[in-house]
Chains A and B, each alone.
Chain A
């Protein structure tokens, strides 16, 4: 049973072409939603944590938003260096303390 679904699986953008990545979740009680960036051959790098519907956080060209059923990672005017896999994870209130459930990620490619 998938608890975290990310779409699209892959996204190709031209430099400067803004877009959004989606993360939908089905956990019963959300205690946190996390966005990570992962470059090939490396560990995930933490980007944002969102705790409640309506919350938004920004970092450079990235903006994360949260509703009761999904989160969006908006990328404004992306650059080639934004190319990476973006992972979403949720912390379920009903889960054992400390467990995150990850999606499969969206592989973003930004070409010049």
Chain B
């Protein structure tokens, strides 16, 4: 079972607020990812990281930022929340050293509602 944690699990916030979604993993995985998922739709990659101080943008990243200062921590920040940001945000990690390479393990998700 993967040890990957996300906080908060649920968040209701007003338009224009700055928010940070936390993600941490205790497995020492080198890669970490953020996805956005809407009901009935596929997961969309927002950001990913190969390791400390390495981050890349995905498909839906233009309105958020990430940082990877420590291996185990990969926070996602929305500078100014909008109702269009309402969604579920999923964090994942993987490790190339494992036998089943590229297998991603997911956290429980953060459900965000922007009013």
Contact = CB atoms under 8 A, between A and B. Distances in A.
Interface in A22-49: 31-32, 34, 36, 41-46, 49
Given A32-B102, A43-B90, A46-B105, A99 B42 contact: no
Contacts of A98: 31, 33, 48, 50, 94, 102
B26 interface: no
A79 B3 CA distance: 27
A45 B102 CA distance: 15
B2 interface: yes
Contact of A43 (B42, B94, B106): B106
Interface residues of B, number: 27
A102 interface: yes
Contacts of A9: 40
Contacts of A72: none
What bracket does the count of chain A residues touching chain B fall in?
20 to 34
A78 interface: no
Nearest to A34: B103
A98 B103 CA distance: 9
Nearest to B4: A43
B42 A104 contact: yes
Contact of A104 (B40, B94, B104, B111): B40
Nearest to B31: A98
Contacts of A89: 43
Most buried by A among B40, B41, B43, B109: B43
Contact of A42 (B2, B40, B108): B108
B45 interface: yes
Q: Which 7 A-B pairs have the closest CB atoms?
A: A43-B106, A102-B42, A102-B43, A49-B100, A44-B106, A43-B109, A104-B42
